[in-house]
Amino acid sequence: MSVSAPAPLHTIDLILKKRDGGRLDAREMAFLAKGAAAGTIPEEQLAAWLMAAWLRGLSLDETRALTLAMRDSGERFSPARLGKKAVDKHSTGGVGDKTSFLVAPLAAACGVAVPMISGRALGHTGGTLDKLESIPGYRTALTLTEFEAVLAKCGASIIGQTRELAPADRVLYALRDRTGTVENPGLICASILSKKLAAGLNGLVLDVKTGSGAFLRRREDAEYLAALMVATAEAAGTRTVALLTDMSQPLGQAAGNWIELAEAVELLRGQRREGIEDLRELSLTLAGWMIHVGGQAATPEAGKARAEAALADGSGLRVFLEMVAAQSGDTSVFDDPKGFHKPGATEVVEAWESGFVAEMDTTALGWAVQRTGAGREKAGEPVDAHAGILFHARRGARVEKGQPLATMYATRTEMLSEAAAILKQAVRISEAPPRAVALVGRAFTRETAETYLQSSGQ
Ligand code: URA
């Protein structure tokens, strides 16, 4: 008896199927992911399929199939030789989110290997790689052999996506940024997890943002994304936890490139100040979970205490500087971070009335940061290392008319006016203080994620 070969696949059929509300199976997802990675499917067809998926949504099974197909579009990294558990943290994207620069060295200082594969700015959100490249010489493009050598030496390494790992995501991520197809739970899940699963991690801590600066602003959408990612990663064999965290205002004070690194290093030096306490708290919480998932603490709370000790004794800072040096970065810029900061143009935005900072449209603030020159309009454009915005007042703060609200650093003077106009529209000052929002919300583990997905009918 002969078994007939499956019919050949054609991209146009998969576009029509998704456009008309159909569901793709694992073979069809593998065809798309391989075609994206190899460049055999033209970008316009990939973009059309992405838009159909964005509009129609992806089922749980489709999301799992796409995630695995994208993971398998390239090679796999094996951290087993490092002799430690490998745990990474990934955020769904935010404004001023520089926790990676803290959690990677803190978890590494506590005995966990942190092979962190990060992205560039996407939409209104900043990119870890763009920020790191503001350090002169820092190499974000390492081969897997170099990556392993830095990990063996320092315990942590932060690099960009390589040609080898999940190459389908490199193509699809850049296309989504240009075609308005970022904010979809299935696509976000497949994008993030394909890279993480290809990195052979033992554990993963996900920071799922919610609020005005998140890709998925509504809490119920962020919860669904968190549960979806945990269930998908656990089904693929990686111990995963997701925390819902607040993005209704920028994290810390700085949003940009160099200014974010300088702020993170201030905390690694053990310094504390009111405007950046949220960044410290979230970083310690995430690092605590990483240390726990990496088997170096019995509970996330015990992990947090270890992370706090690594902050206090300077071991986190040491690992960070070692990692920068191992990736050819010039660590002397951290001797005088203010002296190194040389923006093209500076302007202070003052409060236009007295009252409480009641609301921040953090997505709009992210676009204001991008307009200073810190982000890019088109893929491949350079970003300005010294552009960005320092926010002086947080949500709920009382401000008086004329008090500095933000300091903007732009590439050129003429870029300041557009950024200032967006910023003024994005911040609402009112007579009454706003309702406080918790920085860290619900945590999803395998059990809670599965229960959530079952009860949500997915
Ligand atoms: N980060 C990613 O890597 N991918 C997304 O789609 C969103 C955030």
User: φ and ψ at 153, to 5 degrees?
Assistant: -80, -45
pLDDT digits (tens, 9 = 90+) for 48-89: 999 999 999 999 999 999 999 999 999 999 998 999 999 999
In the chain, the amino acid numbered 447 is E
Tell whether the model's pLDDT for residue 441 goes beyond 90.
yes
Mean pLDDT of the chain: 95
Q: Could you tell me the two tokens for 247?
A: 């993005």
Q: What is the pLDDT of residue 177?
A: 84
Instruction: Output DSSP code: residue 91.
Output: E
Domain with CATH 1.20.970.10 in the chain: 11-71
Q: Does 256 or 178 have the greater pLDDT score?
A: 256
Sheet with 440-444: list strands edge to edge.
Answer: 87-91, 203-210, 239-246, 440-444
Torsional class of 93: left (φ above 0), alpha (ψ -120 to 50), beta (otherwise): left
Residue 433 C-alpha to ligand 1 middle, in angstroms?
A: 33
Mean pLDDT along residues 127-138: 96
User: Angle 11-19/43-56 helices, nearest 10 degrees?
Assistant: 20
Find the radius of gyration of the CA atoms of the chain: 22
Residue 390 C-alpha to ligand 1 middle, in angstroms?
A: 25
Q: What is the pLDDT of residue 381?
A: 86
Q: What is the pLDDT of residue 123?
A: 78
- Residue of 434, 411, 274 whose CA lies nearest to 347: 411
Mean pLDDT along residues 185-201: 94
Residue 242 C-alpha to ligand 1 middle, in angstroms?
A: 15
Is the shortest distance between the CB of 406 and ligand 1 below 6 Å? no
Q: Does 347 or 164 have the greater pLDDT score?
A: 347
Q: Determine whether 308 is exposed, middle or buried from the number of CB atoms within 10 Å of its CB (0-12, 13-18, 19+).
A: middle
Question: Choosing from 191, 194, 212, 248, which is the catalytic residue?
Answer: 191
pTM of the model: 0.93
Mean pLDDT along residues 205-211: 96
Tell whether the model's pLDDT for residue 444 goes beyond 90.
yes
Domain with CATH 3.40.1030.10 in the chain: 80-164+201-336+439-456
Residue 188 C-alpha to ligand 1 middle, in angstroms?
A: 5
In the chain, % of residues over pLDDT 70: 99
pLDDT digits (tens, 9 = 90+) for 294-330: 999 999 999 999 999 999 999 999 999 999 999 999 9
Rounded distance, CA 169 to CA 191, Å?
Answer: 6
Q: For domain 80-164+201-336+439-456, which architecture applies?
A: 3-Layer(aba) Sandwich (3.40)
Q: Which residues contact 181 (CB under 8 A, 6 or more apart)?
A: 47, 50, 51, 53, 54, 175, 187
- Known active-site residue 195: yes
Mean pLDDT along residues 347-365: 97
At residue 330, the 3 state secondary structure works out as coil
Is the shortest distance between the CB of 191 and ligand 1 below 6 Å? yes
Domain with CATH 3.90.1170.30 in the chain: 343-430
Q: Could you tell me the two tokens for 119?
A: 């992205």
Q: Whose CA is closest to atom 2 on ligand 1?
A: 192
Q: What is the pLDDT of residue 3?
A: 65
- Known active-site residue 392: no
CA dihedral 69, 41, 50, 62 (to 10 degrees): -30
Which among 191, 193, 196, 206 is the best mutation to test ligand 1's pocket, defined by most ligand atoms within 8 Å of the CB? 191
Is the shortest distance between the CB of 127 and ligand 1 below 6 Å? no
Is the shortest distance between the CB of 372 and ligand 1 below 6 Å? no
Note the Cα 334 to chain centre separation in Å. Answer: 23
Q: What is the pLDDT of residue 376?
A: 85
- Residue of 45, 313, 74 whose CA lies nearest to 175: 45
Strand-pair category, 239-246 with 203-210: parallel
Q: What is the pLDDT of residue 118?
A: 87
Is the shortest distance between the CB of 53 and ligand 1 below 6 Å? no
pLDDT digits (tens, 9 = 90+) for 214-241: 988 899 999 999 999 999 999 999 999 9
Domain 11-71: assigned CATH number: 1.20.970.10
CATH homologous superfamily for 343-430?
Pyrimidine nucleoside phosphorylase-like, C-terminal domain (3.90.1170.30)
Question: Choosing from 64, 195, 209, 386, which is the catalytic residue?
Answer: 195
Neighbours of 60 (CB within 10 A): 17
Mean pLDDT along residues 434-457: 93
Torsion sign, CA atoms 113, 119, 122, 126:
positive
391: β partners: 406
C-alpha distances in angstroms, 219 versus 57, 86, 129, 247, 410? 18, 30, 28, 11, 33
Q: What is the pLDDT of residue 458?
A: 61
In the chain, % of residues over pLDDT 90: 88
User: φ and ψ at 214, to 5 degrees?
Assistant: -90, 155
C-alpha distances in angstroms, 68 versus 54, 247, 447? 19, 29, 21
Confidence of residue 132 (pLDDT cuts 50, 70, 90): very high
Confidence of residue 125 (pLDDT cuts 50, 70, 90): confident
Tell whether the model's pLDDT for residue 260 goes beyond 80.
yes
Q: Whose CA is closest to atom 5 on ligand 1?
A: 188
Q: Could you tell me the two tokens for 304?
A: 């947090």
Q: What is the pLDDT of residue 2?
A: 58
- Known active-site residue 25: no
